[in-house]
Amino acid sequence: MRIGHISDLHILELDKPRPLKFLNKRLVGGLNLLLKRSNAHSSKVVERAIEHLDDHDVDHIVISGDLTNLALDSEFAAARTVVDGLRGGPDRVSIVPGNHDYYTPGAARNGRFERHFQPYLKSDLPRYQLDEGYPFCHLRDDVAIIGLNSGIATPWLFATGRVGPDELRAAERLLDDPEVQRRFKIVVVHHPLLPDEHHSIQFNRRLLNAAEVLEMVRRKDVDLVLHGHNHYFSVLQVPKLGSPGTTYICEAGSTSVAMGGDPMMSGKFNIYTVEDGHLRQVESHLFESHEAGFLPWKSEVFRRTIAED
C-alpha cells in the first residue's frame, strides 16, 4: 500500500472577506499573511502535487491540517475544491484540521472545518467518534488511519494545539478495537509530537499535551504518526512501549510553497510504502518549478528485521 502525504496547504482566498471579519486576531494575522504569504502558497502547486501523486500510484492520501489561513468560509470553499480534485473522492482521502483551520473562536465554535469537510470525516468505526467528529477511522486494506484534532482557537501570536482528554480516551479505545489492532496503524495529527533536527518545540507553537499523546501512541502500538505544522520534512523513530518495534513520526512539509530549488522552503510531499504490516520506505518529493513540477528529493528505506523473518 502506498500512502501520499500532503500538508499545510494554506489556500489563500481573500476575494470577498468582509472587513469586520478582520477585527481582533485576524487584523494581525490577516495583514501578516497578506504581506508574507500571498505569493508563497499556491493552489496551482497543490494541483501539480496531486498530478504527481496520481502518477506514482498512491492508494490513499493523508492531509495533515492547515488547509486555510484565517479559517474563512471562502478559504474553506477554495480548499474543498482543491481536495475534491483528488482521484477517488472521500474514500481515498483522510484529512485533519490544523491551528489555522481553528483560527478564531467563531471558526472553532461553529465547527467550520468539519462543516466544509464533513464527507471526508466519515468513520468506519463511528462508535468511537465524539460529536465533534474525532477520532475518525478509515480502514483500507491492511491499514487503519486514525484522525485526531489538535486545533484550538488561540490568543494572538500563538499557534498551540491540544488533543482534548475525551478525544484521547476515545482514541485509546479505538486503537484497542480488533479491526484496528490487526492492521498497520497510522495516526494523523497536525502538531508535532517531538522536536526534529531543524525545529525545537517553541512555547507558542507547541502541542500542549504532546507528551501525553506521544505516550499513548507508543503504548497503543501505533506504527506511524503523520503531522504537519513545521513546514519541513522529517522522519523520527521512537521505540514502542510494551511491544517490540518502532513508531515512526513523519512530516511531509508544506506542499503548496511555490518557491523551487530550496529544500528548506520548497513545496514538498511524502509517499510511504507499507508492506507486510511494516513501513518500508519514505520518499520526499520537492517542488522544482511550474514547468517541471515536483522531483524526487530524498528517500529512506527501512529493511526487514530479523524478528520479521
Within 10 A of 242 (CB to CB), how many other CB atoms are there? 9
Nearest Cα residue to 230 out of 183, 193, 260: 193
Q: Which of residues 98-157 bind Fe ion (CB under 5 A)?
A: 98-99
Q: Which of residues 214-233 bind Fe ion (CB under 5 A)?
A: 229
Least distance to Fe ion from the beta carbon of 95, Å?
14
Query: In the complex with Fe ion, which residue's Cβ is closer, 99 or 247?
Result: 99
How many positions of this chain bind Fe ion (CB under 5 A)?
A: 5
Query: In the complex with Fe ion, which residue's Cβ is closer, 58 or 67?
Result: 67
Query: In the complex with Fe ion, which residue's Cβ is closer, 201 or 241?
Result: 201
Query: In the complex with Fe ion, which residue's Cβ is closer, 204 or 243?
Result: 204
Q: How far apart are CA 13 and CA 258, in angstroms?
A: 16
Least distance to Fe ion from the beta carbon of 294, Å?
19
Of the candidate spans 8-16, 181-189, 288-296, 301-309, the one that interacts with Fe ion by CB under 5 A turns out to be: 8-16
Q: How far apart are CA 66 and CA 69, in angstroms?
A: 7
Query: In the complex with Fe ion, which residue's Cβ is closer, 160 or 281?
Result: 160
Is residue 75 at the binding interface for Fe ion, with CB under 5 A as the rule?
A: no
Least distance to Fe ion from the beta carbon of 190, Å?
6
Least distance to Fe ion from the beta carbon of 228, Å?
6
Integer angstrom CA distances of residue 276 from 163, 184, 280: 30, 9, 9
Query: In the complex with Fe ion, which residue's Cβ is closer, 98 or 147?
Result: 98
Least distance to Fe ion from the beta carbon of 100, Å?
6
Of the candidate spans 94-102, 105-113, 212-220, 269-277, the one that interacts with Fe ion by CB under 5 A turns out to be: 94-102
Query: In the complex with Fe ion, which residue's Cβ is closer, 181 or 202?
Result: 202
Least distance to Fe ion from the beta carbon of 47, Å?
19
Is residue 8 at the binding interface for Fe ion, with CB under 5 A as the rule?
A: yes
Of the candidate spans 1-9, 171-179, 212-220, 266-274, the one that interacts with Fe ion by CB under 5 A turns out to be: 1-9
Residue carrying the nine cell digits 508492506:
275
Least distance to Fe ion from the beta carbon of 101, Å?
9
Least distance to Fe ion from the beta carbon of 303, Å?
33
Q: How far apart are CA 9 and CA 50, in angstroms?
A: 12
Is residue 66 at the binding interface for Fe ion, with CB under 5 A as the rule?
A: yes
Query: In the complex with Fe ion, which residue's Cβ is closer, 98 or 267?
Result: 98
Least distance to Fe ion from the beta carbon of 65, Å?
6
Query: In the complex with Fe ion, which residue's Cβ is closer, 8 or 13?
Result: 8
Residues forming the site for Fe ion (CB under 5 A) = 8, 66, 98-99, 229
